[in-house]
Structure 1
Amino acid sequence: MNLKDFKAKLKNKIWRNVKAYFYDQRIADSTLVQNINLSTAQNQKKAIVSYVTYSHFNDWENNNIGRTQPFEILSMVKVLTELNYAIDIVGCHDLKTLDYLKLKNYDLIFGFGETFYQLTMLHPNAKSILYMTEHHPNFTKIEEQKRLDYFYDRKKKKANTVRTGNFYWDHHMKKKYTHVITMSETEPFNTEYTKPFNIFPTGILNNNFKLKPKNHDSSKKHFLWFGSYGAIHKGLDLLFDVFQKHDDIVLHVAGFYKDDRQLLEFPNKKNIIDYEYIDIQSNQFLEIIETCTYCILPSCSEGFSTAITTTMRHGLIPIVMENTGFNRLNELAFFLNDFNIEYIDKQLKEYSTKDSEYLASLSEKVFSFANSNFSIHAFESKFNVILNQILKND
């Protein structure tokens, strides 16, 4: 017996003895999902999705899913199933799966990450669709560095890049794929792709939410930053500096990560309120929605943030940076065109004194648009239209 066979036999023996102890983990996760919609009775085309696999291992009836991606992946698979593809799903950076997939033949490769890139190299004749959940990394890299430099100028603290380059690496972007679908702006892709497609991500809706008249005379003084990791990338440091100068406007902060707190100290100010993690299905979330008119996210770059889609589905008016992923909102958002502290301060003074009747009308338009475009049904429909356009000549 050679060494390779011996190692395999030993691992199998160990696994047989210990796998019962990891039953819950085996139920909850796997690195590879194969043969979805496969029919051995017909000749099907085969597709592989490079993203995440846990959508297909979750208890959807009893777990409160706080993220939008799992819903979207299920919709993607449903559309591919309706197009009669047999489908595999892999982790976007899980290269070990390639050993199990290298002998397969794929007609369609969809997704992102190093796994996606390697699969397109292994199957050069397959149709490839790069899926951009972020802004183009060339844009993000420059803009995030500007924020880090500005943070250092003000605080004399060095911060590292935390959002750029995690999933989209330089060599990924140098390769030309058959098509690209982006959640962000299409302009960076116009030179390489004749028709880059864009799609909105979904937003989560609190099941008990009902849009009702709001006292904007009061709530226009309240701004919600609803973020995730990468607080400097998402402009929370800027807002801390602005709101510390004031007592007349209030910043509500939800989703300020522990790792970011080690670098960015939370201000000891009554008008800056720390909620830590907020469950979107909670009554506390509804109370914040009722208190605020605006959701503010001065992020340097987004793939159209789900914090914005979610709060818009509850009628909050977005305040976002121009050209960072949100331009499609047009008149439904207030756009910042600079991240200088003095500029943001001036703009927030203006927003906090806007006509309340105008804000009530705009909030209703935001709510209507968001629930027409950011639901899982809208996502699935749009994804179906895009894939049918891409595959119509197959």
Structure 2
Amino acid sequence: MKLPNLITKIGRTANLFIEKIKGRIQRRRMISLKPNNYAIGNVLISYLNEPFTLKPDDPIFNSHTQYWECRQMAITFLEMGYCVDIIRCDNDVFIPKKQYSFFIETRLNLQRVTSSLNPNCIKIYHADTAHILFHNAAEARRLLELQQRRGITLTARRYEPANYALENADCVFVLGNDFTANTYKYANKPIHHIPISTPVLYPWNPDKNFDNCRHNFLFFSSRGLVHKGLDLVLEAFAEMPEYNLTICAPVNKEEDFYQAYFKELYQTVNIRTLGWVDIRSIEFQQIAESCVGIVNPSCSEGGGGAVITCMHAGMIPIASHESSVDLHDFGMILNNSSIAEIKAKVRQIASLPANQLEEMAHKAWEYARANHTREIFAKAYKNKILEISQQCDKQSLMPKAYRTKGMIKTKSLLVNK
């Protein structure tokens, strides 16, 4: 091997090694926060570290509801007077070294450390997905169906190892509707509903022309494009040239999907692929104004954040039952999310009178405003924690309060609503 090539190879290997070390350090990091006044106990949140290392206006808080919600969960406990420790849900070395009043789990740590927790610790599974076995099986079915339709095998992007968080928890918090809750009923544990938040509130646009936009639809999602149903939507719209589809999703990050659907994504006249678009941007608001609705045939969701965002933006939802959003009379449920059903629902929406489309869109907007905002999440979460605390016998179930003078002000964590 020539010397320049050898040096390049060594450099790449060294960089890969450094990145792995950095990742391990970040994964095993614990962040500790203290309330303004004297502490009444400790809380452990096993979720994400990033919300506590970034500025409140970082774009990551617009990319997924989990980042703001994780931050708000910590703020809730700080305001109640608890010290809060935060670790990542994939931390593989953490062992409790103090008594915890609450342990909030989202994935893997609780099952590993339950035996090390004080027996009066209240253990809550904060479920931001449907049960992971349902979640994995649903994606596997979609990938198998795609293989049978197109003769190709794509990678499972949303697969996660099974966890036993619910088995080790006292109760579960779910962000979605009864679909998500029902995937957890098997354990016979108390199930509490906390409405998922949304990053942006859009004003209602009374000037939107529903006659002009009735043939235009949006697909909006994060990663896991087969899981989210983009393959089905692409195949449906490719067979309906009279209807237009705009795609806001990270297509370029899934190379196998990109290659398999290149023709539909980039060589089909009625399909426009934009990639990921910041939902706070003017571009996204213009897209929302030009589209009558969102098509979301996801196979499994914990709360349907993408659908909720588009309802806030004044679009009519066409969504699967598994999207975990109640659509009432302002949207259309996909019962099997087949290509034929997607086509039928799109045509049905497009055929409605403009005044009915406007009424449905406005109802969707009103419902999202009334049920899914950051303020509503914060209030519901705090009320549920207080309710659980009050149900417990504090003499026997809660660790003795101890006093630790606070050092980090709660207000330093507050983010823009």
Cα separation, partners in 2 of 1:206 and 1:188, compared to 1, 3 Å = closer
Equivalent of 2:197 in 174, 198, 202:
202
Are 2:192 and 1:222 aligned? Answer: no
Give the corresponding residue for 1:270.
269
Report the TM-score when normalising by structure 1.
0.84
- 2: CA distance, partners of 1:234 / 1:345: 17
Aligned equivalent of 2:147: 152
Q: Partners in 2 of 1:280 and 1:323 — Cα distance?
A: 23
How far apart are 1:228 and its partner, in Å?
1.4
Shift in Å, 1:324: 4.2
Deviates more, 1:134-143 or 1:45-54: 134-143
CA deviations 1:321-352 (Å, max 9, x no partner) are 114422x3333321000122222222222122
Deviation at 1:251, TM superposition (A): 0.8
Deviates more, 1:240-249 or 1:211-220: 211-220
Mapped to 2, the partners of 1:233 and 1:137 lie a distance apart of 13
- 3-state SS, counterpart of residue 387 of structure 1: helix
Q: Please, which of 204, 207, 212 is the counterpart of residue 213 of structure 1?
A: 207
In 1, are the aligned partners of 2:46 and 2:89 still within 8 Å (CA)? yes
Aligned counterparts of 1:317 and 1:238: Cα–Cα separation in 2:
19
- Per-residue deviation, 1:218: 2.4
Question: Aligned equivalents of 1:66 and 1:116: distance in 2?
Answer: 28
Alignment correspondent of 1:238: 232
Deviation at 1:82, TM superposition (A): 2.6
User: Per-residue deviation at 1:146?
Assistant: 1.6
CA distance in structure 2 between the aligned counterparts of 1:333 and 1:109, rounded to whole angstroms: 38
Q: Pick closer, same or farther for the CA change 1:63–1:323 going to 2, 3 Å.
A: closer
Question: In the aligned structure 2, how far is the partner of 1:345 from the partner of 1:329?
Answer: 19
How far apart, CA to CA, are the structure 1 residues paired with 2:194 and 2:241?
39
Maintained 8 Å contact 2:297/2:337: yes
Q: Secondary structure at the match of 2:199?
A: coil
Aligned to 2:133: 138
In structure 2, what residue type is equivalent to 1:295? Answer: I
Amino acid at match of 2:213: S
Alignment of 1:87 with 2:84, yes or no, is yes
Change (3 A) 1:224 1:48: same
> Contact 1:206–1:282 at 8 Å: present in 2 too?
no
Q: CA deviation at 1:260?
A: 2.3
Question: Quick one: distance in 1 between partners of 2:347 and 2:363?
Answer: 23
Secondary structure of the corresponding residue to residue 197 of structure 1: strand
Judge which range, 113-122 or 44-53, deviates more. 113-122
Q: Residue 152 of structure 1: CA displacement?
A: 0.4
Correspondence list, 1:306-325, <5 A: 306-325=305-324
- How many pairs are equivalent? 358
Match of 2:374 in 1: 376
Q: Which of residues 245, 251, 259 in structure 2 aligns to 1:257?
A: 251
Deviation larger for 29-38 or 52-61: 29-38
CA drift of 1:359 comes to: 1.3
Look up the match of 1:53: 49
Greater relative CO (CA pairs within 8 A, separation 6+): 2
Query: 2:355 aligned with 1:363, yes or no?
Result: no
Structure 1 residues 305 and 121: alpha-carbon distance in aligned structure 2, compared to 1, 3 A threshold = farther
Shift of 1:257: 2.9
Q: What do the CA deviations read for 1:112-168 (whole angstroms, capped 9, x no partner)?
A: 1222332333216121000110011232222222211110011111123221325xx
Relative to structure 1, the CA distance from residue 59 to residue 259 in structure 2 (aligned partners, 3 Å threshold; closer, same or farther) is closer
Tell me the percent identity. Answer: 21
Contact 1:309 1:374 in 2 (8 A): yes
Corresponding residue of 1:286: 285
Q: Which residue of 2 is the match for residue 115 of structure 1?
A: 109
| Aligned-partner Cα distance in 1 for 2:196–2:112 | 26
Checking the alignment, whether the CA contact within 8 Å between 1:233 and 1:300 is kept in structure 2 is yes
Whole-Å separation in 1 of the counterparts to 2:145 and 2:338: 9
Q: Aligned partners of 1:201, 1:148: CA distance in 2, in Å?
A: 27
Q: Tell me the CA shift for residue 256 of structure 1.
A: 3.1
2:157 aligned partner: 162
How much has 1:310 moved relative to structure 2? 1.3
Contact 2:304 2:323 (C-alpha < 8 Å) held by counterparts: no
The structure-2 alpha-carbon separation of the partners of 1:354 and 1:232, relative to structure 1 and needing over 3 Å to count, comes to: same
| Matched residue SS, 1:113 | coil
| Residues 1:296 and 2:288 are matched in the alignment | no
**TM-superposition CA deviations, 1:33-54 (whole Å, max 9, x none):** 1142286x56x22110000012
CA RMSD of superposed structures (Å): 2.3
Q: Give, as a single letter, the amino acid of the residue that structure 1 aligns with 2:295.
A: I
Q: Partner amino acid for 2:103?
A: I
Give the letter for the 2:77 counterpart: L
- Structure 2 gaps, min length 5: 1-22, 395-417
Asked if 1 retains the 8 angstrom alpha-carbon contact of 2:329 and 2:360, the reply is no
| Shift of residue 371, structure 1, vs aligned partner | 1.7
